[in-house]
Every structure is written in C-alpha cells, then in structure tokens.
Structure 1
Amino acid sequence: MTASATVLNIWCLRHSTGTDFGVNQALAGLAPSIAVAELGGTPLQDFLKSLPGVIGAIDSARSDPDNLYLTMDTAGGLGNSIWPTDRSTLDIQADQSVSPGIQVPVAFSQSLSLWDFDAVSADDLLGSITVFESEQGAGELAKLAKSDVESSYYFVTYRVD
C-alpha cells in the first residue's frame, strides 16, 4: 500500500521579492526540516518569528503577493497544479498561511513545488520540498521550501500516513 502525505499548512515567511542579500543572509541558517512535536506546543510560526532576522524578513517583503499554486514535480504551469484544485492561484504574502488539506501519494519520495504564476513570463519556482515514505508515522513535519533567486521562504507542514 502506498503511503499518503497530507499537506496541512503552507506558511509564507517571505514571499518573492527578488534579490535582497542581507535578508537572505539572515535567513540562511533556518532549519530545513522541523519535527513540529519537538516545539513543545509552540506554534511553528511563533517559534520561527522568535529567531533572529525572521521579523525583518517579513517586514521587508514588498506588498504585491505571490500567486501561489502547488505541483508534484519541478515543472511549473497551472496545467500541472494539484492545488488549488480548480487550476487557479491563491494570493499570499509574508506572514500569511493556507491550509490546503490535500493528499498526495508517496512511493519512496515525492517532490512538492510551490510556484508563483506569471501571466506574461514563465512562472517562478518559489521552492520545493521532498516528502519521504520513510516519514510515515513521524507526526507533523515542517520543511523549508526556498528560492535564492526569488528570495522566497515558505514552510510546508505535512503528515505521512
């Protein structure tokens, strides 16, 4: 039987802004994976906001949002989107989150990629994570999806059953 991952939450720490070296340096040390149970009941967003540089990253993000959608590979395009399920996008900015609640099959490993839709040029890859079948039963995990090119930082929280 193939494992299934449920995407519980996508939290935007910093939406795409282009190059901002100082902020990128401040965020470079973020943990790429966090076992949510190890936070002792502290919500993920509160824990991350307590780290040096995180509030500055949220505050420095420009005001126009990412037009977010999710794929199961590193190929962009709304035709490859698995969420939102109607092939649309969701506007999201720094310090906002969404709860997709979608399930994806995981046979050994499965890539999940976050994209910013662009009507006049190629869509921008905001970051990717890899979900592993071996994470089955580990509880909620949060992984960092980031793009150095776009200066975007998102945490994707999921569970593998």
Structure 2
Amino acid sequence: MTANATIQQIWCLRQATGTDIGVIQALSGLAPVLGQLAGSSVESLVRGMPGVAGAMDSARSDPDNLFITTDTSGDLNSSIWPPGNTTVDMQAGQSKAPGIVIPVSFSENISLWDFDSVSDNDLLGSITIFESEQGTGEIAKLAKSEVESSYYYVTYRVD
C-alpha cells in the first residue's frame, strides 16, 4: 500500500534575492581587464557591483511567485500547487497551508519554484519525502537554494 504525504505548511524564511549571481560574478571577473584599460577606480567600481546589486534587491523586496512541482522541470504546467497553473506571492515570514496530498512510493521529490515571465523559472529549493517516514508525525525540512539565497521550511506528515 502506498503512503500519502500531506503538505501542511510552506513557511518562507527568506525569499529569493532576485539578483542574477552569474551576471554579477561575470562583471566582477571583468575588473582586472577594465582596471588595466582605465585605471584602478574602474576596477573598484566593478568589484563593488555585487554589494550594490544585493542592496538594491533588498530594498525592492520583490516576493517570490511560488509554485510547487514533484519533478525538476520547473514548468508551471507541471505544478501541483496552487491549482490552475497559478502562483502565490511569498515573502519572508509568510506561510501558506497547501493541504495537498501526494502519494509516496519509496520517495518523492517536492520542488519549490519562483515563476519568472522573462526567463527560466528559478528553483527555490527542494526536499525529499520518504515512505519510511510514515507514521512518524509532523516533519519539517528546509528547502534552500544557494544560488537564489532562498530558504523555505516545508512541513508535512506521511500517513
């Protein structure tokens, strides 16, 4: 008999930064070349870009447009929550109670995504639910992304 996991709560500890880390790292990598061409003040400017971008992002506080999948495609059409290929705005300190039930045979991946209309959706983090957790009560796991600097707790139980 297959176990069923009920996702009880999604709690946002920190939403994604929205800062494109790859672009910032590429800009920082240009600093030595620019410094040779135009002097050290340009190099200092470019090296400071990651801090400036991070400060701008913190000031904006854009919410994540959260949706959940059981696969790793990041496609909104594969979303299992919220219903109707929609998203839920989430910011630090907010939580939602999806109440969705997912069959678990051995293990099941749960991936949290940030919908992005202009580029690929961003993986906010994922957890793995195991059938062996059946009957152990409420479990909370951290879904995080080093790239997006996002941290979410997913609370569930397996019956």
TM-score, reference length from structure 2: 0.74
Alignment match, 2:113:
115
Q: Which amino acid aligns with 1:102?
A: I
How far residue 61 of structure 1 moved from its aligned partner, in angstroms, is 7.9
Partner SS state of residue 121, structure 1: coil
Alignment match, 1:135:
133
2:126 aligned with 1:100: no
How far residue 75 of structure 1 moved from its aligned partner, in angstroms, is 1.2
In structure 1, stretches of 5+ residues that fail to align are 20-59
Alignment match, 2:65:
67
Q: Which structure features the higher share of helix residues?
A: 2
2:8, 2:63 → 1: CA distance?
21
CA RMSD of aligned residues (A): 1.3
**Structure 1 pair 61–109 and aligned structure 2 pair: CA distance change class (3 A):** farther
How far residue 18 of structure 1 moved from its aligned partner, in angstroms, is 4.7
8 Å CA contact retained: 1:12, 1:93: yes
Q: Deviations over 1:98-150 (max 9, x none)?
A: 00000001000000000000001000000000000000000000000000000
Identity %: 70
8 Å CA contact retained: 1:65, 1:91: yes
How far residue 77 of structure 1 moved from its aligned partner, in angstroms, is 1.1
2:59, 2:126 → 1: CA distance?
20
1:147, 1:74 → 2: CA distance?
14
How far residue 63 of structure 1 moved from its aligned partner, in angstroms, is 1.4
In structure 2, stretches of 5+ residues that fail to align are 20-57
Alignment match, 1:16:
16
Alignment match, 2:6:
6
Partner SS state of residue 79, structure 1: helix
2:145 aligned with 1:153: no
Alignment match, 2:88:
90
Task: Count the aligned residue pairs.
Answer: 121
**Structure 1 pair 62–138 and aligned structure 2 pair: CA distance change class (3 A):** farther
Q: Which amino acid aligns with 1:134?
A: S
- 1:81 aligned to 79, 82, 86, which one? 79
How far residue 74 of structure 1 moved from its aligned partner, in angstroms, is 1.2
Q: Deviations over 1:61-112 (max 9, x none)?
A: 8511000000001111111100001110000000000000000010000000
Q: Give every structure 1 segment of 4 or more consecutive aligned residues whose post-TM-superposition deviation is greater than 2 Å.
A: none
